[in-house]
Chain A
Amino acid sequence: MADKTLYQKKIRLGDGLLKGSIYAAAALTFTVLLGLMGYLLVRGLPHISWGFLSHTYSETDPQQNGILPMLLNTLYVVGITVLIAGPVGIASAVYLTQYAKQGRFVAIVRFAAEVLSGIPSILFGLFGYTVFCQLLRLGTSLLAGCLTMALCVLPTLIRTTEEALLSVPRLYTQGAMALGAGKLRVILGILLPNAMPGILTALVLTMGRIVGESAALLFTAGMSYGMPRGVFSHAMESGRTLTLHLYQTAREAATPDAMNVAFGTAAVLLILIFLLNRIAWLLGKVLKKGES
């Protein structure tokens, strides 16, 4: 209290320690994360070549070590799953936010969605296996895998779409209602277009989630590395995605080159996820800009 001058800076030990530990924690995190990515890329990138991306694979012939079938299977699963889960998820979110009477039922559905988005995906795999593969007799097939994946991503998709719908200012919907617009017209003409940036971002992030999923597909989509022969017939065939390929090659090490294939696949996965996240970010930015 007796400070007579401003110019005597005190060194406060507590502040310094706290600041130091915050910096240290951040540095540790970044080092580990960047180190991990760097390691995967350093070990994987050298094996990515046009041949790696465009050739087939065989567990018995070391000459065939490409990942084309797995790449195609991954894109296939992403496409079909989004085609199934997208419309169902958006419609459910519209129902929950616009039509359902806000009460116990909606609360239970929301709670269930929250729980489901948190449970390990292998449980979805087990469920998909017993229901789609066995009960519905789809066998181990990409269709069974896509249906399982759809269940897996629906809870999160519904919740993020709900958030996008709820973030549309009530003023817009009120304005339309006051002009005499009916509910459906307001939903189609005002609500969904304005929620679109959020919904599209949610869809792209969902794609990333599908690309990265392995456990739910392990039992359902199977492990076949055969080259797809047709778009529709392929749905009923077994097929492994990139993540399962990574799992299988690293685990079995069937060929001398197996670890290289695994790391190459890992690098491809990393790049795919990075691109999808980038697209989600760009979409959000571009669409938001279009509004104002």
Chain B
Amino acid sequence: MLHKQEAGRQETVKIGMQGVHVYYGAYHALKGVEVAVPEKQVMAWIGPSGCGKSTCLKTINRMNDLVAGTRVTGTVTLDGEDVYDPRTDVTVLRRRAGMVFQKANPFPMSVYENVAYGPKIHGVRRRSQLDGVVEQSLRAAALWEEVKGRLKKPALGLSGGQQQRLCIARALAVQPEVLLMDEPTSALDPVSTLKIEELMHTLRKQYTVILVTHNLQQALRVADQTVFFLSGEVVESGSTKRLFESPRDDRTKRYLSGRFG
């Protein structure tokens, strides 16, 4: 094991979900999900395709708003504040809860401009300040050494793994508290995957990370907590070690042993 669960670590709930239902038109995608995401830990969300884990992730930063015909009921909270409250400023919400997508999606701009894009939106204008944020974010995403000589080069010229780390740097540049990672390594080779997994270990010191993954080994390697989703419901959740070693629900047991999914 790459890390141990610290004994007696204070657990504050960063993100809370109570009775969350999501409908896409007539399709009932999430059916009363209850999750408490502890602060500054990595929590993995696992489950077969179509189980609702990505949908659930997108309710947190309200990316579901962009899909026409989506309806969300129940409560999703960030630090106890309701994300769906009419007073919520989505721009602030998305700054505090950054997202990394399944497919690396750097903008067709330079490496530098990609990382600087977020801070610029949120009002950082001074060049010296931007320079600092860009370097800091690229360092935090373990990419600085590889790209420091080509900051002005197009981001699309980077390798797939580098592009994904650039997207992480881009998300970190707006100083989020939460990182929502939607299968961030599913399109990457094993070496790049390993780099990003190592990165998650460092990130958990400062950020609350939710990692949606298909890869059970990955969940086992990097996650403190794991939640198992099935057919739009949470079947079981707990510390990764406990869930993998002694699953309480029969469906969890069967999924973990590769019987379906």
Q: Is B165 an interface residue (CB 8 A)?
A: no
Interface residues in B, total, Cβ within 8 A: 29
Q: Is B24 an interface residue (CB 8 A)?
A: no
Q: Is A185 an interface residue (CB 8 A)?
A: yes
Interface residue from A102, A171, A181, A194 paired with B105 (Cβ < 8 Å): A171
Verify B154–A171 contact, CB threshold 8 A.
no
The answer to whether A174 and B63 touch (CB under 8 A), given A169-B105, A182-B91, A185-B121, is yes
**Nearest CB of chain A from residue B21's CB, rounded to whole Å:** 23
CA distance A190 to B68 in the complex (A): 21
Q: Is B156 an interface residue (CB 8 A)?
A: yes
Interface residue from A175, A182, A185, A292 paired with B107 (Cβ < 8 Å): A175
Chain A, Cβ-Cβ closest to B103: A171
The answer to whether A174 and B94 touch (CB under 8 A), given A180-B118, A194-B108, is no
The answer to whether A190 and B105 touch (CB under 8 A), given A178-B99, A179-B98, is no
Contact string against B for A residues 63-98, beta-carbon threshold 8 Å, 1 for contact and 0 otherwise:
000000000000000000000000000000000000
CA distance A169 to B108 in the complex (A): 11
Contacts of A291 in B (CB 8 A): 108, 154, 156
In A184-227, which residues have CB < 8 Å from any B CB?
185, 189-190, 194
Verify A292–B122 contact, CB threshold 8 A.
no
CA distance A14 to B106 in the complex (A): 53
CA distance A4 to B108 in the complex (A): 59
Verify B108–A171 contact, CB threshold 8 A.
no
The answer to whether A179 and B156 touch (CB under 8 A), given A102-B68, A185-B121, A194-B108, is no
Contacts of B74 in A (CB 8 A): none
CA distance A278 to B183 in the complex (A): 44
Contacts of B98 in A (CB 8 A): 178-179
Verify B121–A180 contact, CB threshold 8 A.
yes
Interface residues in A, total, Cβ within 8 A: 19
Q: Is A176 an interface residue (CB 8 A)?
A: yes
Verify B156–A178 contact, CB threshold 8 A.
no
**Nearest CB of chain A from residue B175's CB, rounded to whole Å:** 11
Verify B122–A180 contact, CB threshold 8 A.
yes
Verify B95–A180 contact, CB threshold 8 A.
yes
CA distance A189 to B121 in the complex (A): 10
Interface residue from B68, B108, B121, B154 paired with A179 (Cβ < 8 Å): B121
Interface residue from B105, B106, B174 paired with A180 (Cβ < 8 Å): B174
Q: Is B170 an interface residue (CB 8 A)?
A: yes
In B85-143, which residues have CB < 8 Å from any A CB?
90-95, 98-99, 101, 103, 105-108, 117-118, 121-122
Verify A174–B105 contact, CB threshold 8 A.
yes
In B70-92, which residues have CB < 8 Å from any A CB?
90-92
Q: Is A177 an interface residue (CB 8 A)?
A: yes
CA distance A190 to B170 in the complex (A): 15
Most A CB within 10 A of own CB, among B107, B118, B167: B107
Verify A175–B105 contact, CB threshold 8 A.
yes
Q: Is B66 an interface residue (CB 8 A)?
A: yes
Contacts of B118 in A (CB 8 A): 179-180
Chain A, Cβ-Cβ closest to B104: A171
Chain A, Cβ-Cβ closest to B173: A179
**Nearest CB of chain B from residue A198's CB, rounded to whole Å:** 14
Q: Could you list which residues of chain B lie within 8 angstroms of chain A, going by C-beta atoms?
A: 61, 63, 66, 68, 90-95, 98-99, 101, 103, 105-108, 117-118, 121-122, 154, 156-157, 167, 170-171, 174
Known: A175-B105, A178-B171, A190-B107. 14 other contacts (CB 8 A): A174-B101, A175-B101, A177-B63, A177-B94, A178-B63, A179-B118, A179-B171, A180-B90, A180-B91, A180-B118, A181-B91, A181-B117, A189-B117, A291-B154
